[in-house]
Amino acid sequence: MKRAPWYLAVGAIAGFAGVLGLTGRTAAPAASASKGQGSGTQGGQQGTGSGGAAPASTGQPAQATAPGGVHTASGALEQYGYGELSVKVTANGNKITNVTVPTLRTAEQYSQQLASQVIPMLKSQVLAADSARINGVSGATYTSQAYAMSLQAALDKLHIR
Amino acid sequence: MISDPVGAPSGPGADRPALLTHAEPAMGTVFSVVMVPGDLAGPDLRSALRAACATLHHANAVFSTWDRQSPVSRFRRGEADLGQLPGEVAEVVADCRSARQISGGWFDPWAMPGGFDPTGLVKGWAVDRALAILRESGMAGAMVNGGGDLAAFGFPAPGQRWRVGIRHPWCADALAGIIEVGAAVATSGSYERGAHLIDPATAQPAGRSASATVTGPSLAMADALATAVAVGGDEALAVVAGVGGYDAYLIRPDGTETQTGGIAFVS
């Protein structure tokens, strides 16, 4: 049985960063995400996932750990609105257990400051979103072109339960 | 242009997957379908999905305001009476009239530039119809998401309610919140397709919201009320607060938020 391709989340994660500094509700503080922070791989194989919102068609991750095992994947360097970052996700089976940001490049000092505030929230939000297991996304009507880049399209591929 | 959905459903496992998903392009967007088969056999499931998709394409044919020969376009130009058009047109016009009254005039398809335009309600109406077909098939549960407006019945898994992320208005990949629902959720905003939300009072694009979400039993009505709150902001939210069974969640242009009592945010 093929497990949900959790690495698809890597592309979407970059998008979380751009806004969390602006929104009022940001779930748990960084503390909830700090467990295991910086530890990177937790004993599994390492691989590279393809970033981007439609990664299923653009590449396959190198990870090959059996379902249920601990594994990590690093996303490609992503533009996130204020600079570039890459995200490394550690998962145990389908469950995301940690998120780290090994690469962060910003153009301006302001962006660096903003990013340093945003990224701890990014981690907690990704972890929260994973545990939330949403079934759908409600938003202003997207065009069929915009659908391809949407979180709903990622969900349709992920079969998140 | 219906793609045969027979081969399309796919799940995490080939043998009795818990959830099946399907994506169907229609009405200028993409409809995402999640099905909980329950005891329904594969062929019956596929046949229900095919019928649900067909009803979406039929709704598009009747209600496309882009197609100048569609029944709704002929009605807009006054070329045909309701009696001369497919029965669905009269049904949607009646729903629009009812939604205009219930929304206190904030949703008004008759105040659109270019004439009667039911777009703010008709996609929700089409999803309601598609979902009814899936329900009548006997499957255990389903959710149909019409480009961001969705409706569901049953449960995604035993003891688990449908969880819906509300898209953040300023970031396509972020969620402003997550709610649990048993029926319909509609969200309106101008962040996807520009300033199409018109204030009926001024005939100008409205600027009182960044995002407006409405939950309730009917997606046609929730869709219309979400448009109303997107246009009317706090004032329209207060109207929805008084409509039985419906709740609203508003993100204002400055990023502050407000909601009525029945919105069930997760955490």
Interface with chain B: mutation pick from A138, A159, A161, highest number of B CBs within 10 Å: A138
CB-CB neighbors (< 8 A) of A67 in chain B: none
Determine the pLDDT at residue B155: 95
pLDDT single digits (tens) A85-140 = 677 777 766 666 666 666 666 655 555 555 554 554 554 555 455 545 788 889 98
Determine the pLDDT at residue A21: 28
Q: How high is the mean pLDDT in each 10-residue block of chain B (267 residues)? A: 40 56 93 95 95 97 93 94 95 97 96 89 97 97 96 94 88 81 94 75 81 97 97 96 97 89 83
pLDDT single digits (tens) A35-84 = 233 333 333 333 333 333 333 333 333 333 445 577 777 776 666 555 66
Instruction: Indicate the pLDDT class of residue A145, thresholds 50, 70 and 90.
Output: confident
Determine the pLDDT at residue A30: 27
Backbone angles phi, psi at A102, to 5 degrees: -70, -25
For residues A151-156, give the mean pLDDT: 78
Q: Is residue A89 part of a domain?
A: yes
Q: Is residue B229 part of a domain?
A: yes
Question: How many distinct structural domains can be found in chain B?
Answer: 1
Contact across the interface for B211 and A149, Cβ inside 8 Å: no
Question: How close A119 comes to chain B (CA, Å)?
Answer: 13
**B94 is in which domain, residue-wise?**
16-259
CB-CB neighbors (< 8 A) of A2 in chain B: 12-13
Residues 188-247 in B contacting A (C-alpha not used; CB under 8 Å): 188-193, 211, 213
| More confident of the two residues A4 and B245 | B245
Q: Is residue A125 part of a domain?
A: yes
Using a CB–CB cutoff of 8 Å, tell me whether B173 touches chain A: yes
Q: Is residue A161 part of a domain?
A: no
Determine the pLDDT at residue B146: 96
Question: How close B195 comes to chain A (CA, Å)?
Answer: 12
Q: Which of B54, B96, B89, B51 is nearest to B73 (CA)?
A: B89
Question: How many distinct structural domains can be found in chain A?
Answer: 1
Q: How far apart are CA A135 and CA B17, in angstroms?
A: 15
Using a CB–CB cutoff of 8 Å, tell me whether B263 touches chain A: no
Determine the pLDDT at residue A56: 31
Contact across the interface for B192 and A156, Cβ inside 8 Å: no
Q: How far apart are CA B77 and CA B116, in angstroms?
A: 9
State the pTM of this model.
0.69
Question: How close A69 comes to chain B (CA, Å)?
Answer: 17
Q: How far apart are CA A35 and CA A49, in angstroms?
A: 23
Question: How close A59 comes to chain B (CA, Å)?
Answer: 19
Under DSSP, is residue A109 helix (H, G, I), strand (E, B) or coil?
A: helix
Rg of chain B's alpha carbons, rounded to an integer? 18
Q: Is residue B10 part of a domain?
A: no
Question: How close B84 comes to chain A (CA, Å)?
Answer: 31
Exposure class string for B146-167: b at 16+ Cβ within 10 A, else e: bbbbbbbbbebeeeebbbbbbb
Q: Is residue B215 part of a domain?
A: yes
Question: How close A46 comes to chain B (CA, Å)?
Answer: 23
Provide the ipTM. Answer: 0.86
Rg of chain A's alpha carbons, rounded to an integer? 15
**A67 is in which domain, residue-wise?**
6-156
From B148, B173, B190, residue closest to A142, measured CB to CB? B148
Q: Is residue B100 part of a domain?
A: yes
Contact across the interface for B152 and A1, Cβ inside 8 Å: no
Contact across the interface for B163 and A150, Cβ inside 8 Å: no
Q: Is residue B2 part of a domain?
A: no
CATH number at residue B74: 3.10.520.10
Q: How far apart are CA A68 and CA B169, in angstroms?
A: 35
Q: Is residue A49 part of a domain?
A: yes
CB-CB neighbors (< 8 A) of A144 in chain B: 25, 28-30
CB-CB neighbors (< 8 A) of A125 in chain B: 174
From A138, A140, A143, residue closest to B164, measured CB to CB? A138
Q: How far apart are CA B265 and CA B251, in angstroms?
A: 14
Determine the pLDDT at residue B88: 96
